Structure 1
């Protein structure tokens, strides 16, 4: 952790935040992030589908990706790691364990989820990045990272299936289960 990250953790422990809010350290500083029911429900439903439909993998959420790069460690909303590598006490995972990450858009994160985050994940070689926008009921799947950016993109609306390649399997998400604000 960087000094700034340590400071954010210390500050978060001292401030009593409502459960509906999170404190995030971004390149722009500390941000208070509201968490909507649509965000939480969609995040949970994605994790449930991963557990049901991706044998050998365990869903994980709200964790730091290691190593930190340029003083920043992204915190995806949902992903999965091979079940045999899961450490129950872990709050961070090395980037090489992650084949895909999912970010659920909130009003505060919309710009970052579409502009900054793809670069962070592509630079790390994460093979697929799914953006689920509960504000517009749309999703975007970015794949084929190369030279710090994703080379392929497919988008759709809630109700369509999403196919995410995960090693020798394909995770098929039912986006009709996602919730819109």
Structure 2
């Protein structure tokens, strides 16, 4: 949803927004952020006018996709903690975060373009992911699944570094590297 919206949209408008966000995420991942608006609207099953009604500028759509993906990933942390042992919850969340980073690759040119429209996004990233990962790390360390003293910021940066594109490799490679990092977190853990 656009960040400047003041009231909740009607149910049909909410469905259109959700469809546009999913379509844009998919199209941005394959064609980049400069893909034609018609391609996004067609995939969402709406008209181009509907896309521009909800997201008047391309930057509005890019920011909304980024925030939507950040929120979905951050919001998964409490559900994972409730459903799994702490170490497993952490591992599953880091897998989800790795997937988030893979989808962000399509957004990277816009996010790093220097456009002031995107200036607030790095802070939003840390505001949402820091506490989510912090709760997972704390629970896993208290349970003895990982060593203590790992900061959310350090781990977020480490995983992001491991997920940089490698020529000839895809997301499966990044997942293997993150699995190695998780194994390293287990070293020195005490129950």
Which structure carries more strand by proportion? 1
Indicate the structure whose relative CO is greater, using CA pairs within 8 Å and at least 6 residues apart.
Answer: 2
Higher Rg of the two aligned structures:
2
TM-score where L is the length of structure 1 = 0.32
Which structure carries more helix by proportion? 2
TM-score where L is the length of structure 2 = 0.31
